[in-house]
Amino acid sequence: MNPPPTPFNFQVFLDHVLSLLFAQTWAWWAAGLGLGLTALGLAWMTGRKLGVTGGFEDAIATQDPSFSSSPDRWKLWFILGIPLGAVLANAGHLGWTFLYGRLDGLVFGSFLLKAFWLLGAGVLIGFGARWAGGCPSSNTILGVSLGSKMSILATLGFLAAGMIVVNFLYKVF
């Protein structure tokens, strides 16, 4: 039942590699390896701890002097890089979309409702991230790998609250 062996075709191979690099998403182990190596590289090159929410604070600090910023505003630089990397990851099929997965069904496809939904959720995310001492990047990825008791507790908190909310939302509606 095996298909006949096809001769190696460089064009097919190249298309496959380009698609992997600039279009497709990856298996969990490959993406996880990349994220881990990024955090390790950052630590080795600069001695800094991976984190994202501090960059939001840096961004506010550029406008409001009552906010303290990170040394050299490095966190602002870091978060400005994030969208650039995401552009690269999808360079093969770039385009704008207003769609947002299953949420579109929850908000009856209403743009306005979806905008306010995400705005409100964003406020909870920002407020909670500062209160929790870090977001899923700094607590769940970096903090847990350091074996930090606080980060492990915070991670369990994120997951518990998330599971309750999602299961409520998608069981009831």
Partner 1 sequence: MATRKKNLSASSPAGWTYLAFGALFGYFLSKSRATDYDAIIAMFQWKEFQLYGVIGTAVAVIALGLFLFEKIGISTRSGEPLELEKASWEPTRLFGAFVLGVGWALAGTCPGTSLAQLGEGKVMAFFTVLGILGGVWVFKKYGPKFAGKEDVC
Nearer to partner 1, 15 or 162 (CB): 162
Where b means 16+ CB within 10 Å and e means fewer, 116-146 reads: eeeeeeeeeeeeebeebebbbbbbbbbbeee
Contacts of residue 76, defined as CB under 8 A and 6 or more positions apart, other chains included, come to 55, 58, 59, 62, 69, 70
Work out whether 30 is an interface residue with partner 1 (CB under 8 A): yes
Task: Identify the helix (H) or strand (E) that includes residue 100.
Answer: none
Q: Which of 9, 14, 19, 157 binds partner 1 (CB under 8 A)?
A: 157
For the bound state, the minimum distance from the C-beta of residue 75 to partner 1, rounded and expressed in Å, comes to 8
Residues 98-127 that bind partner 1 (CB under 8 A): 98-103, 114-127
> Of 2-10, 11-19, 162-170, which part binds partner 1 (CB under 8 A)?
162-170
For the bound state, the minimum distance from the C-beta of residue 15 to partner 1, rounded and expressed in Å, comes to 18
Nearer to partner 1, 12 or 87 (CB): 87
Nearer to partner 1, 9 or 145 (CB): 145
User: What is the C-alpha separation between 12 and 26, in angstroms, rounded?
Assistant: 19
> Of 1-9, 11-19, 165-173, which part binds partner 1 (CB under 8 A)?
165-173
Nearer to partner 1, 12 or 150 (CB): 150
Residues 123-152 that bind partner 1 (CB under 8 A): 123-151
Phi-psi bin for 72: left (phi > 0), alpha (psi -120 to 50), beta?
left
Nearer to partner 1, 13 or 100 (CB): 100
Residues 61-100 that bind partner 1 (CB under 8 A): 64, 66-67, 70-75, 77-90, 94-100
Closest CA to 99 of 107, 89, 90: 107
- Write the CA distances from 129 to 18, 55, 90, 126, 158, integer angstroms: 36, 12, 28, 5, 10
Q: Which of 31, 62, 109, 110 binds partner 1 (CB under 8 A)?
A: 31
